[in-house]
Every structure is written in C-alpha cells, then in structure tokens.
Amino acid sequence: RTITLTALGVTKEQLPEISMPTIDGIRSYPDKKENNNAVRDGRVVSQQTASYALLPQKPGTYTLPKIQLPWFNTKMNRIS
C-alpha cells in the first residue's frame, strides 16, 4: 500500500506523519518514507510518500482502513 500526501504552501517538515493502523490478520512492514518539496509558480509544494508491504496471515477477504490526517484548511479557515 502506498500513500501519498501532497500539500501546497508548506515545507516537507510541516507535513503530518503518515502511519498505517494495525490490521487484524495482516502483518505490515514499512518501507523508508520519502519527503520532498519543490517550488512551482513561486509556491512551495511538499510531498510525503509512505509505502507498506502487507502480508495476510490467513486466507480471506480484508478491508484496508482509510487513512485520515487532521489538516488546517487555510481557505476554509478550519480543520478538515
């Protein structure tokens, strides 16, 4: 599973940490996270990518949980 977070107007150090919740019946092995930022059209664009190898421990169907990050939306002036 690969999760990519992209944000405009913040540095890579300001991005919240992406983490994988524990999933019953699945072992999770994280890869090294990548943090990058660049300037486009005079604005900072930052990105964090986190990848995880997920290994089921028994046959069956699994539903991966959604990943939510609290974030302050400067246009709406509230936490999203």
**The pLDDT of residue 79:** 83
Half-sphere exposure of residue 53, counting CA atoms within 13 Å on the CB side? Answer: 5
Which of 26, 23, 44, 25 lies closest to 35 in space, CA to CA? 44
Give the integer Cα–Cα distance in Å for 17 and 14. 9
Q: Which residues contact 29 (CB under 8 A, 6 or more apart)?
A: 52, 53, 54, 55
Per-residue model confidence as pLDDT tens for the chain (80 residues): 999 999 988 899 988 888 889 999 999 999 999 999 999 999 999 999 999 999 999 999 999 999 888 877 777 888 87
In the three-class reduction of DSSP (H, G, I as helix; E, B as strand; rest coil), residue 13 is classed as helix
